[in-house]
A and B are shown apart, each in its own frame.
Chain A
Amino acid sequence: MPDARTALKLDTVSLATDDPGREQPWADLGLKADEYARIREILGRRPTSSELAMYSVMWSEHCSYKSSKVHLKQFSEIPQETPVGKMLAGIGENAGVIDVGQGYAVTFKVESHNHPSYVEPYQGAATGVGGIVRDILAMGARPVAVMDPLRFGPLDAEDTHRVLPGIVAGVGGYGNCLGLPNIGGEAVFDESYVGNPLVNALCVGVLRHEDLHLAKASGAGNLVVLYGARTGGDGIGGVSVLASETFDADGPAKRPSVQVGDPFMEKLLIECTLELFASGVVAGIQDLGGAGLSCATSELASAGDGGMQVELDRVPLRDSTLAPEEILMSESQERMMAVVEPGDVDAFMAICAKWDVEAVVVGEVTDSGRLEITWHGETIVDVPPRTVAHEGPTYQRPFARPDWQDALQADAAEALARPTSGDDLRATVLRLAASPNLCDKSWITDQYDRYVLGNTVLAQPSDSGMIRIDEETNLGVAVSTDCNGRFAKLDPYAGAQLALAESYRNVATGGAKPLAISDCLNFGSPEDPAVMWQFAEACRGLKDACLELGIPVTGGNVSLYNQTGETAILPTPVVAVLGVIQDVTKRTPTGFQRSGEQLFLLGTTREELSGSEWASVVHGHLGGRPPIVDLGAEQALATLLADGVGLLTSAHDLSDGGLSQTLVEACLRNGVGATVALPGDPFVELFSESAGRVVVTVAADDAVRLTELALEHGVPVTHLGATGGDTLVVEGQFEVGIDELREVWSATLPAVFA
């Protein structure tokens, strides 16, 4: 029971009608005057405090995409099919679902948890993993792998030392306890992320076509079940403003707005939910993430027959003093909401009991077209659910190419001083290999379980993560996430396309066929027209690239306001590409496998150094234009790589650090050296970051077959040399031992964090 104080101040629909003039803290909850006015217009009265709370969180930037949706809309123009089949669910669902053949479907999505991870690194990152896993689960899929693209301030920044160890431990602590292999991701360092780390989390799930579940509450009379963890005061955020209005000064303290994760409960929730699906007792389902019950109830009702009645006092609580507004807003983790036919409720409850998961019927589906919520018999919410969930405000934010863009692009890195001798080149190779963005990341990735479930075919530091999804047929999927924010700063349209191209290429190097993308668009404040222009350009770039490559956007997430003061982060449109491979036993590995193989470069090297790792590490420079995007060439290269499965003994993408870093990584993987002769200017050949390039090896007598294959696909091919020895030799320039490379490459992170 609520204590007398709360009961006394309960704001009900009838009170709202009787007392229309009450002052309400809409501004403190982040609503604008016109938004508050619109709520009053929708309801024909002032909202109750519970309704106000619901609208304020559901109309927030995070939930409503109000600044971004005019730009995201164009992704729906891309045909909703992949190169191998139709999409089974698309944008707007918890996660997109694509057909990968043999009756299997795969769902994947990447999401941000940036701000919570800045406030509380461990829990912020942990619950980021938890949230994306529930999204995947809600589609009816078994989660099978996670990845985490991370961005931090400079390695030597104090803030990085505060956030990085906790974020990594949080990603690991949660994912490891769920039993999901972490198969890749990124760790990138840049000044712009000081005070604003990016924690993006990706999950992949697998299901049979017939197991697809959608988030909707249909069938009047069906029951609404809340199950999982109890609801507590964590993650309430802005609603504490309401609470402080509601409670006296001696009431409960404002609670932290970062959620606290319980991965064991999530593990139970996964197994329990999969058993519920298998038993056929779920008519509709939705996870509880951002905006908690407000989101789940309004979205389920809105997508179904349009009505729902909920008795909020039935919600199991961790803290009996919570007010109804707080219960509606709580972002307590590890909760799900299901719609269940009355005849299935007993079976549903029995399965929950088996997994020790608490489950309570909190309401039922109605055909009233209204979402009605009561608190001990009094109506505190009575709204049309679509107005909460889907008809939030849409902003046409002004956007304009910033006046500094021309000067930035004119300041090309191609004009910077270059190493001139073989010794200088050697020193530059070593310096780049040891630099924070290119160094060995195993200090981070060794904290993640990459083996659990026993289906991990490739994991970092391979170009992509690859998972076997059928042990009999060896069908598998590969996923990569990429983004070079420097390129996106120089040209957001091209930068977003380069992120997509790199991720696409990384999936292809393993031998998989790229099928679809999910994106996590991390940008600064949408109220800054320059940032909004970056965002608009990136969206346009992604749409155009998807159209040209024939792959859809299956969903994703937007994170805005990533900035400290006036300084926005580098525009960071992280792109995840998922591909399918028919036989994972034939995948192409990333590193050199053995001595005596022939080494080739596929693709064209141009003098493209602006935005490069070299310019950044050696000169601290960012300016010029990013590398040229040639999606036709990327597609031809990817097709060659797929056709080359079985012929190619290794394949490694060229990206950050150019050929230099690719050779270093390929040598270090299995301790196999190489000798190469560079056809042009050795500096440009080594450090240019031209896109659309891959280093491959083939057995000595397969060289002709490879050149024929390249010719057939119209991909330029250059013979570089051969593998072997325990050094990397660039003929006529320098030689560097693999041991020395390994020493500098692997020392960087442990020296800082050990």
Chain B
Amino acid sequence: MKVGVITFPGSLDDVDARRAARVAGHEAVAVWHGDDTLSGVDAVILPGGFSYGDYLRCGAIARFAPVMAAVVDAAKGGMPVLGICNGFQILCESHLLPGALIRNDHRKFGCLDQRLVIENDRTAWTSSYDAGQEVTIVLKNGEGSFVADERTLDMLEAEGRVVARYVGNPNGSQRAIAGVTNEAGNVVGLMPHPEHAIEDLCGPGTDGLGFFTSLGAAGLLSA
């Protein structure tokens, strides 16, 4: 598939996300935040970083980026969209995903090799995993604590929309939620960074690769 990775001026992990898409066998293209269209891509990744500096609430400005109108339209049309870290924050700010990410409960930036349990293996980005599978992926952020009101949390649980949950709770996320999906399962937000876990040489193993190989797996979106 042709995977577009959006580069905001403060994006940091865009190069890594493109590499991960390539390693998973896709064609990766850079999409500029100021563009009005997604130039014919089949899926979109919003990478980690600090979009526009994020001195305001993380992602609050990025949701108004010219390219985001196209992302929102595409997401509503069923295109697979993955927001990683800052990308997750932007998807929440854009109301493509419920909830919000606030400052870690320990008040510090944290960079860890984090264990997660994949709970939903039916999304566009997790079909390569089995539900209940434990993986180790890099977690690195200052504002990664997932919050939502109780009713939303109950709904996410009831509808199976918690995509991944932390083993332990490194940042005070409600119900240890590390990632969620939308109702259709095409939009996924994930606080940890699977793109940093795609090769043994430069990360904690290859557990993250499944997010990228899931993309385009047969029959997925009709499921």
Contacts and interface: CB of A to CB of B under 8 A. Distances in A.
Interface in A447-493: 447-457, 468, 471
A271 B109 CA distance: 24
Interface in B16-47: 16, 19
A603 interface: no
B201 A447 contact: no
B10 A446 contact: no
A446 B9 contact: no
A169 interface: yes
B49 A451 contact: no
Interface string A24-60: 0000000000000000000000000000000000000
A734 interface: no
B52 A264 contact: yes
A173 B15 contact: no
Given A264-B52, A264-B53, A271-B9, A454 B203 contact: yes
B148 interface: no
Given A355-B9, A584-B201, A452 B16 contact: yes
A446 B15 CA distance: 22
Nearest to A268: B9
A172 B109 contact: yes
A468 B109 contact: no
A718 interface: no
B16 A453 contact: yes
Interface of A (DSSP majority class): mixed
A636 B162 CA distance: 56
A129 to B, nearest CB: 14
B2 interface: no
Contacts of A355: 9
Given A169-B108, A446-B111, A584-B201, A454 B16 contact: yes
Nearest to B54: A264
Given A177-B10, A451-B196, A264 B111 contact: no
Contacts of A453: 15-16
Interface string A496-517: 0000000000000000000000
Nearest to A176: B109
Interface string A582-606: 0011000000000000000000000
Contact of B15 (A177, A264, A445, A454): A454
Q: Which interface residue of A262, A451, A468 has the most chain B CB atoms within 10 A?
A: A451
Nearest to B196: A451
Contacts of A456: 202-203
B92 interface: no
Interface string A434-449: 0000000000011111
B132 interface: no
Interface string B81-119: 000000000000000000000000000111110000000
Interface string B118-138: 000000000000000000001
Nearest to A456: B202
A448 B10 contact: no
Name the residue among B9, B15, B19, B54 with the largest chain A CB count within 10 angstroms: B9
B19 A454 contact: yes
A271 B30 CA distance: 15
Contacts of A393: none
Contact of A452 (B12, B19, B52, B142): B12
Nearest to B11: A179
Given A177-B50, A179-B49, A451 B193 contact: yes
A468 to B, nearest CB: 7
Q: Which of B48, B109, B196 gathers the greatest number of chain A CB atoms within 10 Å?
A: B109
Interface string B192-208: 01011000011100000
A356 interface: yes
Interface in A164-199: 169, 172-173, 176-179
A455 B203 CA distance: 9
A267 B9 contact: yes
24 contacts: A176-B109, A176-B142, A177-B53, A264-B50, A267-B12, A271-B9, A446-B110, A446-B111, A447-B108, A449-B111, A449-B140, A451-B138, A451-B193, A452-B13, A452-B16, A452-B48, A452-B196, A453-B15, A453-B16, A454-B195, A456-B202, A457-B201, A471-B19, A585-B201
Given A449-B111, A453-B15, 12 more contacts: A177-B10, A264-B9, A264-B50, A267-B9, A446-B112, A447-B111, A449-B140, A450-B111, A452-B196, A454-B202, A468-B202, A584-B201
Interface of A: 169, 172-173, 176-179, 262-265, 267-268, 271, 355-356, 445-457, 468, 471, 584-585
Question: Sorted from nearest, which 10 A-B pairs have the closest CB atoms?
Answer: A264-B53, A179-B12, A454-B16, A451-B196, A447-B109, A451-B138, A449-B140, A172-B109, A177-B50, A449-B111
